[in-house]
Amino acid sequence: MDCIRLEYDVDGENFASAGNASESVKRTLKQLGIPPASVRRVAIAMYEGEINMVIHAHGGKAVAEIYPDRIDITLKDTGPGIADIGLAMKAGWSTASENIRSLGFGAGMGLPNMKKYSDEMDIDSVVGVGTTVFLRIRF
């Protein structure tokens, strides 16, 4: 069977719409009857990735590929890139500005949570070019 491919433009200017892509994927997984615990892992991991694109990278593209046994999520942006991925992955490490923190983001927990809730995670980033985050979550 082919996969179901869902594509989203993640708007980097609009905080209110941040989370729309993961919301839509969540709805889709529920319609497929994917177990609630898996839906929750996908929701949290994808939401964090989506929000990162909005706050750190002026938006980008999200692609979700749903297979019978798993979902592959690719989040691709053309933002500033991450200089030290190892450091970025550390719990509590964040470059978020005061403004962003006042919105409740910037605890430095997004990437660690994405790692925790996914089965596979891969970050490909070049400073000045952009970042691509790949997440795989098995149902």
Partner 1 sequence: MAVTLKTVVLDSEKCIGCITCMRRCPTEAIRIVNGKAKILYEKCINCGECVRSCKGGAKRPVYDSFDLVKSYPYKIALPSPSLFGQFNNLDDPNYVIEGLLALGFDDVFEVGLAAELVTDCTKKLMRKNTLERPVISSACPAIAELIFLRYHELKDHLLNLYAPAKIAAKLAKKQAIEQGVPADDIGIFFISPCPAKVYSLHREEVSNEKYISGVLSQSDVYFRLVEKMNKIKNPRKLLRCGYSGLGWGSSGGESNSLGLGNYIHCSGARNVQGILAEMSDGKLDGADFVELNMCPGGCVGGVLNVENPFIARNRMRQLAEKLKIPPATMEQFGLDESFFLWDKAPEPSTSFQLDTDRFAAMQKLMKVEEYLKKLPGIDCGACGAPTCRTHAEDVVKSGGVLDCVKLREVK
Ligand X SMILES: Nc1ncnc2c1ncn2[C@@H]1O[C@H](COP(=O)(O)OP(=O)(O)OP(=O)(O)O)[C@@H](O)[C@H]1O
45 near ligand X, judged by CB under 6 A: no
58 binds ligand X, rule: CB under 6 A: no
d(CA 125, CA 139): 27
What is the closest distance, in whole angstroms, from the C-beta atom of residue 116 to ligand X in the complex?
11
Q: Which amino acid is it at 32?
A: L
Among 93, 115, 124, 134, binds ligand X (CB under 6 A): 93
What span, in angstroms and rounded, lies between the C-alpha atoms of 76 and 125? 10
Nearer residue to partner 1 within complex by CB, 34 or 88:
34
Q: How far apart are CA 20 and CA 22, in angstroms?
A: 6
Q: How far is the CB of 31 from ligand X (least distance, A)?
A: 28
Cβ neighbours, 10 Å, residue 96: 17
Query: What is the spatial distance between Cα 135 and Cα 96, in angstroms, rounded to a whole number?
Result: 22
Residues that bind partner 1 (CB under 8 A): 1-2, 4, 6, 19, 22-23, 26, 28, 30-34, 36-37, 39-40, 43-44, 47, 66, 68, 113
